[in-house]
Structure 1
Amino acid sequence: MTQRRTPDTRVPSSQLMSLRDAAAFAQVDIKTIRRWIDGGHLTAYRMGPRLLRVERNELLAVAKPVEANFPGGAA
């Protein structure tokens, strides 16, 4: 069973995006966005009974630079 984050009562500081737009922006499947929400990597904001939104800045924060320390990696 996955652990749920406690509700965040702060007001989103930047633009909210639909899950479909967030998936297109991050170039991933919408299921990946849902996994990131379920895994606690992204906070989802419920807008009505079914509609979910994510914060653009938080989506950008999920992307982290990766060092190339594998054989044949870029120098």
Structure 2
Amino acid sequence: MAQKTFGDASGTDARRLISLKTAAALVDVDAKTIRNWIAAGHLRGFRINGHLLRVNHAELLALVQPVDIGFPGDVA
């Protein structure tokens, strides 16, 4: 199996890292979805002490943006 590459958790990024469970609750998805986003390259994952996986709070919020789909019959 290929070695996955994760971001470097140094500097200011380290202060804003949150757990996958917290990230999932923040955007109302399952923690497995957060893992899938990391695997797909949509979100960077950071390994803490070579074991714990964390994501950057700001990157997560930037990934999840509201979309106006404009249902028919909506009044603008």
**Alignment TM-score, normalising by the size of structure 1:** 0.75
1:57 maps to which residue?
Answer: 58
Runs of 4+ in structure 1 deviating by more than 4 angstroms, as ranges, are none
Residue-by-residue CA offset, 1:15-53 (whole Å, 9 max, x unaligned): 110001110111110011011101111100000232101
What is the identity percentage for the equivalent residue pairs of Structure 1 and Structure 2? 46
2:21 maps to which residue?
Answer: 20
Identify, as 1 or 2, the structure richer in helix.
2
Amino acid at match of 2:64: A
* Distance of aligned partners of 1:13 and 1:46 in 2 relative to their CA distance in 1, 3 Å threshold: closer
CA distance in 2, matches of 1:55, 1:74: 37
CA distance in 1, matches of 2:17, 2:42: 16
CA distance in 1, matches of 2:56, 2:75: 32
CA distance in 2, matches of 1:19, 1:40: 15
1:37 maps to which residue?
Answer: 38
